[in-house]
Structure 1
Amino acid sequence: MSAPEPTPAAVPARITLYSRPGCHLCDQARVVIEQICAELGESYVELDIDDPNQVDPEVRERMTDEIPVTFVDGAQHDFWRVDPVRLRSALRR
């Protein structure tokens, strides 16, 4: 009997989407991000800006009027809308 194959360590998501429930711009941003992640083999995490268990209150205060906000590799990338060309370019760097 052979040992199971080791699984590769989980690669952290390069994209973080700060959103809030019921936000139509967040819904649109999520669609763009999901499409590009599928295309490029990337992943993303989504954080609810209003959930204190997910987002620090200072971060919420700073970004609440710019939702959705996207970060790529830890740096703020876009807010309000996600430009698919810019996102693709950032992920290919």
Structure 2
Amino acid sequence: MTTLTLIGKPDCHLCDVAAEVVDAVIADLPDAAADQIEVARASIADDPALYELWWEKIPVILIDGDLHAHWRVSPDRLRTALEEATK
């Protein structure tokens, strides 16, 4: 199982765009790959430790705990990373 974590906060336009990119990329993957991806969402507003680490970089995408992207998410780059992670 691959875990994609989207870290953001409420009322964040870039976070909303990143969530749309994540959803679209996963929906476009073959079912065998998509079924291996768990999406977790976390808010810096709810977690002081996340706030301390990421407040100036949200939205942040982690794949299996490793930083994949922040601020803007490239659909092509995310698709490639998820395909590699679910092989």
TM class by shorter chain equals: 0.7 to 0.9
Query: How high is the TM-score relative to the length of structure 1?
Result: 0.76
Instruction: Tell me the percent identity.
Output: 40
Q: What amino acid maps onto 2:6 in structure 1?
A: L
Unaligned segments of structure 2, at least 5 residues: none
Q: What amino acid maps onto 1:29 in structure 2?
A: A
2: CA distance, partners of 1:59 / 1:32: 22
Residue 50 (structure 1) shift = 1.0
Greater fraction of residues in strand = 2
Which protein is bigger by CA-based radius of gyration?
1
Q: What amino acid maps onto 1:48 in structure 2?
A: S
SS in structure 1 of the partner of residue 56 of structure 2: helix
RMSD across aligned positions (CA): 1.4
Query: How high is the TM-score relative to the length of structure 2?
Result: 0.81
Tell me whether 1:26 sits opposite 2:15 in the alignment.
yes
Residue 45 (structure 1) shift = 1.2
Greater fraction of residues in helix = 2
Number of aligned pairs?
Answer: 78
Tell me whether 1:35 sits opposite 2:24 in the alignment.
yes
1: CA distance, partners of 2:44 / 2:26: 21
Residue 43 (structure 1) shift = 3.6
Runs of 4+ deviating beyond 2 Å: none
Partner deviation per Cα, 1:48-70 (whole Å, 9 max, x = no partner): 11103xxxx23321210101000
1:48–1:58: structure 2 CA closer, same or farther, 3 Å change rule? Answer: closer
Unaligned segments of structure 1, at least 5 residues: 1-10
